[in-house]
Structure 1
Amino acid sequence: MERFFTLLLILVLSCGLAQAQQKHSISGKVTDNTGEALTGANVYINGTTIGTATNAKGEFTLKNITAGNYQICASFSGFKRYRENIELNASIQNLEMSMEESTGTLGEVVVTGTGTPHHLKTAPVPTELLNSQMIESAAAPDFINLMGSVSPSFDFSPNTMGSFMQLNGLGNDFIVILIDGRRVYGDMGGMNDLGRINPNNIERVEVVKGASSALYGSDAIAGVINIITKKSKRSISANHNTQYGTYNTYQSTTNIDFNSKIVSGHTTFSQSKTDGWQNSPYEVDGDELVETDEMTQNAYLRRNVRQDLEFRISDKLSIYGGGSYYMNDNKRALSVKDYGLFFEDFSYNAGAKYLLSKSSNITFDYTSDTYKYYYKYNQTKEGKYEAGDYQLNSDQRRDDYNLRWISKLGKHQTITLGSELVQEFYRSEGRLQHDEESVNTLSFYLQDEISLFDDLMLTAGLRVVKHDNFGTIATPKLSALYQLGHFNLRGTYSRGFKAPTLKEQYYYYEKRGTLYLGNTDLDPQKSNYYSAGVDYNNKWLSTNMSVYQNDVDGLIAYENTELLPGDADNGIKKRRQHFNIEEARTRGFDVMVDVKLPLGFSFGGGYSYVDAMNLTEDIRLDYVARHYGNVRVGYFHHWNNYHLNVQLLGRLQDDKYYHEEPNAKGYDLWKLTTTHQLLHSNKVNLKLTAGIDNVFDYVDDVPYGENRGTINPGRTYFVGVNINFAN
């Protein structure tokens, strides 16, 4: 299979040696509807690799274009995308492109649901968008804080290892996380290592719920999160953002971009750290409370560096690649453990895109991601280890080969056809039955986007999955959008399939007297997802309401099993093993509202109701609350170069259910952020941020070992600075 993909890539590359033709150029200027130049707007020829960004005066030049009919486009954050059809027989000069400001997120373009660009308002697969303004206003110290602040559909159960994430009642294993379309792989203690995602580096977040897309694998039973990072199209750009807060919590990100006719590059370096905090000085030891030095949030140091390059070989062919390294040094007090936790991730990717015609292209992508988990000893034990030694606990690797063909058939239909090979490897001496396990999954997928009449859009897809251990299954997808004036009516059905992970089948470990066991007799999980929704949008108001039901057969969870003779002598008090819940279901509804008010005020928020049930035992699913909400109240005003943005953000949720232990208490947290733009010019921008998190000083101070609704330490303060240079 690898040879097949390699051969196809060679054939694609060889197509780039085409006969040269007479070339023309297009130059012009991009402005807003008041005539003010837009610096850094993206200008490109649709269906080609030709594109650039406007300079400090809003000017641009596109070169080496063959004669023909084209669509020239411009995009800029906060503005509706500009399109104009042109006939190019000779070079064009002084082309004026006036862009209209968007009243909300509706003019923004999303790509995650179908792999092709659509305005959010008309995206055929329902997509939730967190745009750059929302992300900046949240001034979040980490990804958990960001998503909890702006979206009620997400919930997190953080602890000292990581964070158990949920989307509409289903957890980590059912959520596919992408960064710029590349899948994030590996976990820490069964939870996502979300430290790899720095909010300072996020341009926008697109969320597709349920296994609605045929493109990313049917294992996305809960949904797909695609994080699009910041990248500049200017000739050269440097951006630095730093935020500092209570408990010596610090994060900084530096981005450097360059773009020329042939090559573009993007470099990013981010670092974050905290001294940690303790919400309670007690922990549960059997039936007693004892004093402890355990931290609610361990101190940590995280670093992440990434380099991306793209080469435009011709106006039809581009090749690209990149790599990243991430480390997470999670520290513990000497009196708690003789080791801390150390995680590292190395990933790299390469790919090519070839334009077969103005309306057809083929892409090949390869991504490899290796995630390792260590003990890092903080003290010396004679004859066993020295302080600073590392002990590898697990080594996970995922190789992904993806070949995709997209073709637009006329104005009303787009076909996507692709194949994906995924190879997974898991190595852990003493924690896997055979120390190393592996599995291959081969998939083929087809997607058809078609517009019927002017108001009805359908997206139908089929993904066929062949798994080494669980055979072949087909999973259909269907989404429909009907436009009726200011209303959009939506509906989705999708079938999902998720095989047990290597960890769920083979991994075992002991923690605090509990032995957690894999199960080689697990069955795959299958889902049926249904949703229906309605949007209403006008100049001042944007609303959405959707209802959903996700039926999951064979949901994998933990159950208690009988102790074996000798367990007590080895300190084992409880055994828990993975098993299949015969029938489970999550259902509920989400409501989102955004209102643009006079005098610079705005209001937004959302509410999510979740009913998550183990139908086999007629009990609620663990880790899930029923009611979640978010509130956003904003004020924006500017005086010449000084811009003021004030946001009050609220997060509310009720008790989180645990059927064997006390529920985690509900809470409401409020955050006040202010952003001050002090300098705004064509080449330099300067912003300051200051705010208060947890304004009313709420602390969930239950003893360590019990379930917490939030690990927020109480009222904290933060300041930040962002400076950008561009040419």
Structure 2
Amino acid sequence: MKRWIYSTFARPMLYCLILLCLCAPLCTFADDPAAGGNEGKASKEKTGGEGKGEKESTKFRLPEMVVTATRTETPQEEATKSVSVITAKDMNEQQQTFLPELMGEQPGVYFRQLGGLGQWSSITIRGASDRNTLFQYNSLPLRDAADTQNTLSYFIEDMFGTSSLDRVEILKGTNSTLYGSQAMGGVINIIPKKWQKGFSGELRNEIGPNNTYIGNGRISYGQDKFYFDINPMYLTTDGEKYGGDNSFYYRNKGLTAGAGIRPLDNATLEFSVLAFDSKLALGDSPQLNPATGKPNKQQADPDQYREGLLYQLGLAWNHEVTPRWDYSVRGTYGETERHYFHLSSPHPRDQSNYDGQTTYLDTQHNLHLTDWLTFNIGADYEKAVFDGREPSSPSMGDFTPVRFSKEWTSWDLFTQAQLAFLDRSLLFTAGGRYNAPQAFDEKTVWEVSGAYILKPTHTKFHAHLGTGYRTPSLYETYGGYVWNGTLVTIGNKDLVPEESIGYEFGIDQSFLNDKVQAGATYFNTRFKNWIGFDSLAFQYKNADKTELSGIESYIKVKPFPWLKVNLAYTYVDTRVEEANGDWVRGSYQPHNKLNLVTTVYPTDRLTVACSVAYYDSKLVPLYDTSWNQVQWKEPSKWVVDLSGTYKVARFMDIFMRVQNLANKNYTESGYQMPGRSVYGGVKLSF
């Protein structure tokens, strides 16, 4: 039945989509009057529509605003640090349901997923570890206090659904001054839509291979004094088998929602919620086969699965007391749960639970003293709790839970000065943070950054220098596991926080009324007290040094209303100092990465997008079939994705996307990745 559906519908649609991608530029060029050299038209202004729905502005274009670079709303062209922005329009054009997929297309950003839907994922920035990437939702930190290194990797792929997304801001480089521990590599801020007036709704349904169904909806209403926005989501798939007897099934139910009131003309109270509840099949890790020189394909275990829960509740009070002074008071409470089960076990307590809780409070005051000077002063408090339970001795029939629980707190003070001179052509920021964690010594970090804008030529020079730190996680400090009724501790109370110093400098240039935008940035970050697991000592230890350096660049071209091309290239050199003093190449990090996204608007109703990604070879630590640890050089790879959207009516879109269009056989960190996968669906808007 599935084969009949594919041959009858999916294959012809795929061929038509490829033909449209190849031929649409020629057809449109012949029909478009602008192709005859109509350079005198006014510049385009994005209005939230798609394709040729972009309207012309005869006066000016509103600047793109970002909040993550300075913790205050700032025009992106005035940002003194490197910031990439992914908009809801980008996601709609590529019909990408999962946020992490598009993040990996940005310069300096790497997305790694170990298999198909729902599998363990990580996002790293400029070669730093995923534990050095801070995630935020609605500008508030999103954490998993039970993770071994305080990352969000077990829940990244759970974050799907884009109906309520406004944009994602990716702040790159050392940013501990503004955002504290874990921001040594960068910050990813997921920002939802809010304060939209009127009533709107959306229903999106998508089907794909392996009985995959993805659905999400949105309903929102707003006026001057209040708004609400609700976005439920659901996903189910049987998953890939990779030649085995069992599949990596995955289920996920999610919800994002927001609401706000305006009790005063100059004050707002906002509430937000993010929640995902998932169930995932587990399997073995790939082993290197000495006979083939390649890893064996991972196989799903029919007996084991994981249930995961991530949720965060947020509340924010914003008050503009005077034009010179505004402040905010915000707080979040979040929980994560990872529970591992054995289906064949006769005992209901044969499970391992790892639960985390995070409470966060902050306040920030913004003093706009003059037109050229703004002070930001703030403080934050955080409490983290890790609660683990494992059965005492399952092999002996003892399933009594052995509990290990730890918690700690920290509080910080931070300040920043923003200066602007020469009609906002010369910009500076400088700041510092004092950190007082309960379990470690106090720490002070600082940063300075600047930019000079040559307005006649639309050229911006920018530079940033800062120090960073990351306190060890609860698990790195106190964690362990249960063996024959005994808690074996692999955490290390003698760990000290990781420290770093990083700098960057670069140039951004636009031409032809922003039809061509280009930029390049060199970066370098040096770490000390790098934390890793010592397999000989069987505990976490501080290593000596790690150094990351490289260059990221981009070119964005929009020569015609019907064509847009985005090219991003990144080179990263990751080096780690070993105990004997030798410097070696870091694992999991390719030297070169190239991303090309071409979007074509053949008509007002049709959008076609093609994404091409190239990843250089990299070193991957694996075990062979005799359980000897080896370094495997994973080959380089090209991956092509294709998508198309057709607006049938004002309220209806039909869409199709093809992942791994060329059906490449490739691996990610030794894990087999899915072959060609064709998805399609319909979106209703009202």
The C-alpha deviation readout for 1:545-598, integer Å capped at 9, x for no partner, is: 000001010111222216xxxxxxxxxxxxx43221211111100011111123
The C-alpha deviation readout for 1:419-471, integer Å capped at 9, x for no partner, is: 00011111113599971111111100001111022311001111110111212
Q: Does 1:582 align with 2:544?
A: yes
Q: Which amino acid aligns with 1:708?
A: S
State the distance in 1 between where 2:592 and 2:536 align.
Answer: 32
From 443, 459, 479, give the equivalent of 1:507: 479
TM-score, scaled relative to structure 1: 0.76
Aligned counterpart, 2:281: 331
SS at match of 1:657: strand
> Per-residue deviation at 1:230?
3.4
> Per-residue deviation at 1:709?
5.7
The C-alpha deviation readout for 1:505-526, integer Å capped at 9, x for no partner, is: 1222489xxx993222212100
SS at match of 1:610: strand
SS at match of 2:91: helix
Q: 1:603 to 1:320 in 2, by over 3 A?
A: closer
Aligned counterpart, 1:719: 680
State the distance in 2 between where 1:158 and 1:672 align.
Answer: 21
> Per-residue deviation at 1:220?
0.3
> Per-residue deviation at 1:330?
0.7
> Per-residue deviation at 1:348?
1.3
State the distance in 2 between where 1:312 and 1:78 align.
Answer: 32
The C-alpha deviation readout for 1:76-109, integer Å capped at 9, x for no partner, is: x9789xxxxxxxxxxxxxxxxx78575xxx9321
State the distance in 2 between where 1:294 and 1:541 align.
Answer: 49
Q: Which amino acid aligns with 2:451?
A: L
SS at match of 1:331: strand
Aligned counterpart, 2:258: 308
Aligned counterpart, 1:664: 634
Q: Which amino acid aligns with 1:435?
A: F
> Per-residue deviation at 1:715?
0.9
Is contact 1:153-1:628 (8 Å) kept?
Answer: no
> Per-residue deviation at 1:218?
4.1
> Per-residue deviation at 1:212?
3.0
Is contact 1:181-1:226 (8 Å) kept?
Answer: yes
Aligned counterpart, 1:461: 431
Segments ≥4 residues shifted beyond 6 Å: 36-41, 77-80, 431-434
Aligned counterpart, 2:661: 695
From 111, 115, 130, give the equivalent of 1:155: 111
State the distance in 2 between where 1:501 and 1:631 align.
Answer: 37
The C-alpha deviation readout for 1:196-251, integer Å capped at 9, x for no partner, is: 42252432211111223633214300000011223461221112222222222332
State the distance in 2 between where 1:390 and 1:554 align.
Answer: 38
Aligned counterpart, 2:499: 526
Aligned counterpart, 1:673: 643
> Per-residue deviation at 1:628?
0.8
SS at match of 1:608: strand
The C-alpha deviation readout for 1:375-408, integer Å capped at 9, x for no partner, is: 24434x33x23xxx78451110111010110122
Q: Does 1:441 align with 2:400?
A: no
Aligned counterpart, 1:609: 571
Size of the alignment, in residue pairs? 592
State the distance in 2 between where 1:662 and 1:37 align.
Answer: 49
Is contact 1:486-1:537 (8 Å) kept?
Answer: yes
Aligned counterpart, 2:221: 258
Q: Which runs of 5+ in 2 are unaligned?
A: 1-40, 284-298, 392-400, 622-629
State the distance in 2 between where 1:307 and 1:134 align.
Answer: 21
Q: Does 1:230 align with 2:205?
A: no
Aligned counterpart, 1:375: 340
Q: Which amino acid aligns with 2:249?
A: A
State the distance in 1 between where 2:402 and 2:502 align.
Answer: 35
Q: How does 1:332-351 map to 2 (within 5 A)?
A: 332=282, 336=301, 338-351=303-316
From 533, 546, 549, give the equivalent of 2:521: 546
State the distance in 2 between where 1:468 and 1:340 align.
Answer: 36
Is contact 2:148-2:473 (8 Å) kept?
Answer: no
State the distance in 1 between where 2:252 and 2:350 align.
Answer: 17
State the distance in 2 between where 1:194 and 1:38 align.
Answer: 30
State the distance in 2 between where 1:212 and 1:325 align.
Answer: 27
From 662, 666, 669, give the equivalent of 1:708: 669
Aligned counterpart, 2:533: 558
The C-alpha deviation readout for 1:533-553, integer Å capped at 9, x for no partner, is: 100112221011000001010
Work out which structure has the larger RCO, using CA pairs closer than 8 Å and 6 or more positions apart in sequence: 2
Aligned counterpart, 1:170: 128
Q: Which runs of 5+ in 1 are unaligned?
A: 1-32, 42-76, 81-97, 282-292, 563-575, 702-706
The C-alpha deviation readout for 1:297-333, integer Å capped at 9, x for no partner, is: x211111123322121111222222334320111358
State the distance in 2 between where 1:651 and 1:230 align.
Answer: 29
Q: How does 1:69-80 map to 2 (within 5 A)?
A: none
Is contact 1:152-1:630 (8 Å) kept?
Answer: no
From 386, 404, 421, give the equivalent of 1:452: 421
State the distance in 2 between where 1:227 and 1:446 align.
Answer: 23
State the distance in 1 between where 2:607 and 2:48 align.
Answer: 22
Is contact 1:339-1:375 (8 Å) kept?
Answer: yes
Q: 1:439 to 1:185 in 2, by over 3 A?
A: same
Q: 1:370 to 1:266 in 2, by over 3 A?
A: same
Q: Does 1:636 align with 2:601?
A: yes
State the distance in 2 between where 1:648 and 1:430 align.
Answer: 47
Is contact 1:162-1:189 (8 Å) kept?
Answer: no
Aligned counterpart, 2:326: 361
SS at match of 2:71: coil
Q: Does 1:429 align with 2:389?
A: yes
Aligned-residue CA RMSD in angstroms? Answer: 3.0
Q: Which amino acid aligns with 2:674?
A: P
State the distance in 2 between where 1:100 and 1:423 align.
Answer: 50
TM-score, scaled relative to structure 2: 0.80
Q: 1:262 to 1:585 in 2, by over 3 A?
A: same
Q: Does 1:492 align with 2:442?
A: no
Q: Which amino acid aligns with 1:547?
A: Y
State the distance in 2 between where 1:410 and 1:335 align.
Answer: 62
Identity of aligned residues (%): 19
State the distance in 2 between where 1:364 and 1:141 align.
Answer: 32
